Structure 1
């Protein structure tokens, strides 16, 4: 395997429209992922995200948005690496949504393996927090990474 790519997913017991809005609306996203954003995720927009655990801001370029179906953006997913993140929302039975996330690709080397481990953990956490918020209005992220501030 020459290249590494993150692939993860989770099913959420809500309709695609509700899940989509929770991802693109910064006010909603601040309840489970980021502390703040400079705007809504809209195609072609350049945003900055601030995470509650870190002082620095992350630059995000929104590449493509298909309402209730698909979101892609580029960001520095690893130091010095501009990576594409794709989020696909698939309607499932009983008004639920399968959210699939891919990020990548990077070389299968030491730097790539470090990125794969860290960001796979990060996206799995994102999905769990998204599910808890959308289904139960619970912010799983609040206080979860306070230990990283030290």
Structure 2
């Protein structure tokens, strides 16, 4: 059995606007990450930094397919895939998967944590696009290193 982190949410914005908010670092830094080395484009490797951690995280093997999907690798074992589905009411369903990992206690904990993380990403994306609210601000200050 393989484990996959999954999250899905409908956002009341047009497909192209949601896509741009995912691939453009000027948007991403408003709701998810604190720094980004560049736009997500096929074949380009970038680096993300999260406000609550000191480390920087490589995002490699980026693949962007039109305005319908984005995939990337950020550890050697997993691929993140993001699909955007335009809806008749001009909203967009965003589906995210990350995986796969073999079933064991460590990977089960990883799956739960990353599912929570992607659900948080989607909630922050929705709040930012629909209401201009930055949900992440201060939300993870408790995780910052005291060093």
Structure 1 gaps of 5+ residues are none
Structure 2 gaps of 5+ residues are none
Using structure 2 for the length normalisation, give the TM-score: 0.95
Deviation at 1:103, TM superposition (A): 0.5
Deviation at 1:82, TM superposition (A): 3.1
* Residue-pair matches, total: 145
Deviation at 1:93, TM superposition (A): 2.2
Please, which of 120, 123, 126 is the counterpart of residue 125 of structure 1? 120
Partners of 1:137 and 1:21 lie apart in 2 by 15
Using structure 1 for the length normalisation, give the TM-score: 0.93
* Kept in 2: contact 1:73–1:84 (CA 8 A): yes
Question: For residue 85 of structure 1, what is the aligned residue in structure 2?
Answer: 80
Question: For residue 4 of structure 2, what is the aligned residue in structure 1?
Answer: 5
* Kept in 2: contact 1:89–1:99 (CA 8 A): yes
Question: For residue 143 of structure 1, what is the aligned residue in structure 2?
Answer: 138
* Kept in 1: contact 2:6–2:98 (CA 8 A): yes
Partners of 1:48 and 1:32 lie apart in 2 by 16
